[in-house]
Amino acid sequence: MITELGHFALILALAVAVVNTVVPLFGAAKGWHRWMAIAEPAATAQLILVAFSFLALTIAFVTSDFSLKLVVLNSHTLKPMLYKISGVWGNHEGSLLLWVLILSLFGASVAWFGGNLPASLRARVLGVQSSIATAFLAFILFTSNPFLRLITPPFDGEDLNPLLQDPGLAFHPPFLYLGYVGLSVSFSFAVAALIEGRVDAAWGRWVRPWTLAAWVFLTIGIGLGSWWAYYELGWGGFWFWDPVENASFMPWLLAAALLHSAIVVEKRESLKSWTILLAIMAFGFSLIGTFIVRSGVLTSVHAFASDPERGMFILAIIGVFMGGALTLYAARARVMEAKGAFGVVSRESALVVNNILLAVTCFVVFVGTVWPLVAELSFGRKLSVGAPFFNMAAAPFFLVLGAILPIGAILPWKRGKLGRAITRLIPAAALAVAAAALVWAMQNDKSAMGPIGVMLGTWLIVGAAIDLGMRTGRGTPVQRLVRIARLPRADLGKAVAHGGFGVTVFAISALLAWQVEDIRAVSPGQSLPLGKYEIRLNEVHDVRGPNYTSNMGEVDIIRDGTVIATVEPERRFYPFAGMPTTEAGILNGVFSDVYVVIGDPQPNGSWAVRSYIKPFANWIWGGAILMALGGALSLSDRRYRVAAGARKSPASAVPAE
């Protein structure tokens, strides 16, 4: 019964979304206050209905209701409870329902926390937000219904994809969706501002916290996915440039550009056109990511579905929203004239360069991602674009971005002196060059990647510290620390996020430059050298898990003749899904990881063993945590949590009809 109620709630949510699209927008156009006021309770009602529907589907998974087709395809009675719950969104239909739930949550949040917005702008934002919900609710109900019943239910299910049965993957998709869908609010604000014909400093302040929240969630989601790929897939990497990985990375790049551009709108009322366009494109790339995941046009281990009908529906959604928004953008170009002039050397100019670099990097990643599809359609050739292309194409832009970031952060608004800014950063430059020279002298091979990464990371971290120190004035160290604690959280957040970016840049360069790898067949009792360690395979024994069988190795990690740790890499097999997975055995360290993977058995009784030393691997995700923490600190600043004072507009002053 609750399943039918969940389905009915989705239908009601679609009806509410349609009403909340038409009535507030029409009311705002006519200046009818009561019609505009419908938007707020309707947004809350839509959230309640979608949340009830999601709860109904969750109950079906938790109770193993195999009369539902979706539960049969993605669950099993022996599956641990965590993965029964995560199985709700570990498939196409359920993940779309989560997508719409988060979309409704953001819409309701605008209604709850947007009390200081002008009535007409709030109504238009909620109307645009509900139009997006209308499209995706229709998509779910007409092509991806999660509540389809089976006439003859089986006794058990087919199990969830084994790769998704991991704590990291249980939380990775919700955080990514919070980021993807959070950008819909920035999009709604942009379209609403274009309809209203007004983009100003107050608008920049209103749109900034929503963009910041989406960027923080995307950072966490991408970090979780990278961490999961590192320890779960057994290939030893942290980023594969897979099409679906790229689909999350591209909106992250544009959201970062949008975030910096909104600052200029707020502070100087410049870059209005840039900011509106970035808001449209950031959400547009989120929709493109949805298309890549669900259409099957590009092969990916992350893809949910390969249904052309669904793909065409999503393409139609992209065409309507992106095409409509860009058309409106072109028609309203005159309302985005900049008021604040600025010099070539200024913080505004640095942020323009920042935006160009991030946008071009996004375009390069996009071209590399879709080129195999273009080549097949245009030339009939099957091509693959892998990590070498993306590394070579994207790295120069990140190098330039990292080089200018500390300089731009300390330049004054409107007009500055480049020499003065560089003079203040001399300690950072000297320390960065010294660190690079030291690494060059110490490393065995003369690869430039390690020293360059160390130099750039040091430059970013020390530059962020200098930027923070400049805001504290003179005094004793204790006095300056007290002043740092009293700084606006947005300033603290900026320094922490920029420093976190430096940590990640350093860690990625160090890992790629200095990792040690060994692949060979090893018999039980045999040892092999690995850098300063010795790896000994003691035995391989069979293990039975709740819904899998496993070949588990027992591997000693030895240093200077002493066993410092024993790790247990596994080859798991999930019989219900008929799929093997790999669990790496990892000795985590502050400065390096020892990473061991056990492979297939060999005819002579030995086992394929891959072992690595991964220098500074955990610093990659440490940097991501710092970036997300910096964003969260900025978001907690009262100036951005509380909306700017309400503007009185003609629409809001019209008597109720």
Tell me: the pLDDT tens digits for 71-109?
998 888 888 898 899 889 988 899 999 999 999 999 999
Average pLDDT over residues 439-452: 84
Judge whether 462 lies within some domain.
no
Mean pLDDT lowest among 180-184, 293-297, 372-376, 416-420: 293-297
Element (H, E) at 530: strand 527-530
In 3D space, the residue among 556, 614, 547, 619 whose CA is nearest the CA of residue 76 turns out to be 547
Q: What is the dihedral of CA 497, 502, 504, 509, to 10 degrees?
A: 170
Binned at pLDDT 50, 70 and 90, residue 645 comes out as very low
The stretch 202-215 carries a mean pLDDT of 92
What was the pLDDT predicted at 564?
94
The identity of residue 371, as a single letter, is: W
Return the number of other C-beta atoms located less than 10 Å from residue 433's C-beta: 14
Averaged over 429-452, what is the pLDDT?
A: 89
pLDDT tens readout for residues 283-339: 999 999 888 877 656 555 455 555 667 888 889 999 999 999 999 999 987 777 767
Residue 305, domain member (yes or no): yes
Q: Please give the average per-residue pLDDT across 270-284, as a whole number.
A: 93
- The yes-or-no verdict on residue 275 having pLDDT over 50 is yes
The answer to whether residue 316 is domain-embedded is: yes
Give the residue from 482, 458, 459 showing the smallest Cα distance to 471: 482
Which residue among 353, 374, 395 closes a domain?
374
SS3 643: coil
CB atoms within 10 A of CB 651: 21
Task: Point out the least confidently predicted range of 49-58, 198-207, 626-635.
Answer: 198-207
Cα–Cα distance, 278 to 438 (Å, whole number):
41
- Which domain does 583 fall in, by range? 516-617
Residue 304 falls inside a structural domain: yes
Q: Which helix (H) or strand (E) holds 594?
A: strand 592-601
- 142-151, 300-309, 320-329, 489-498: the lowest-pLDDT one: 300-309
Classify residue 323: in a domain, yes or no: yes
pLDDT at 431 over 70: yes
What's the confidence (pLDDT) of residue 647? 41
Sequence length of the chain is 657
Q: For residues 399 and 415, give the distance between their C-alpha atoms in angstroms, rounded to a whole number.
A: 25
Domain boundary among 319, 353, 374: 374
pLDDT of residue 298: 59
Are 506 and 459 within 8 A, CB to CB? no
Report the candidate in 543, 589, 599, 539 with the shortest Cα–Cα distance to residue 564.
589
Residue 610 lies in a domain: yes
Task: Find the mean pLDDT for residues 174-196.
Answer: 94
CA pair distance 531, 560, nearest whole angstrom: 12
Helical segments of 339-425, H only: 347-379, 387-410, 418-424
Residue whose pair of structure tokens reads 């109900």 in the numeric block: 141
Q: Residues 447, 449, 450, 456: what is their CA dihedral angle, to the nearest 10 degrees?
A: 150
Q: Which residue(s) pair with 567 in the sheet?
A: 555
Question: What is the C-alpha separation between 186 and 261, in angstroms, rounded?
Answer: 12
pLDDT at 117: 86
Higher-confidence position of 448 and 179? 179
Nearest to 64 by CA among 81, 48, 45, 40: 81
Q: Is the pLDDT of residue 205 over 70?
A: yes
In the chain, the number of structural domains is 2
- Residue 44 counted as domain residue: no
Neighbouring C-beta atoms of residue 590, cutoff 10 Å: 9
Helix (H) or strand (E) run with residue 192 in it: helix 167-196
d(CA 352, CA 191): 22
Contact 227, 588 (CB under 8 A): no
List 572's β-bridge partners, or say none: 550, 581
The two structure tokens encoding residue 231: 């320890």
Identify residue 595 by its one-letter amino acid code.
Y
Does any domain span residue 439?
no
CB 50 within 8 A of CB 134: no
* pLDDT higher at 655 or 238: 238
Residue pair 538/504 in contact by the 8 Å Cβ criterion: no
Distance CA 359, CA 256 (A): 10
Q: How confident is the model at residue 148 (pLDDT cuts 50, 70, 90)?
A: very high
The DSSP letter of residue 68 is B
Please name the helix (run of DSSP H) or strand (run of DSSP E) that holds residue 29, with its range, or none: helix 2-30
Q: For the segment 224-243, what is each residue's pLDDT rounded down to a tens digit? A: 989 988 887 777 788 888 88
Mean pLDDT for 605-614 is 93
> What pLDDT, on a 0 to 100 scale, did the predictor assign at position 654?
35
Average pLDDT value for the chain: 88
The C-alpha atoms of residue 467 and residue 554 are separated, in whole angstroms, by 49
Q: How many CA atoms lie within 13 A of 306 on its CB side?
A: 8
* CA–CA dist 178, 109 (Å, integer): 13
380: left (phi over 0), alpha (psi -120 to 50) or beta: left
Name the band, by pLDDT with cuts 50, 70 and 90, for residue 649. Answer: very low
Question: Is the dihedral angle over the CA atoms 377, 378, 383, 389 positive or is it negative?
Answer: negative
Q: Residues with Cβ < 8 Å from 184, sequence gap 6 or more?
A: 103, 106, 129, 132, 283, 286
pLDDT band at 641 (very low <50, low <70, confident <90, very high): low
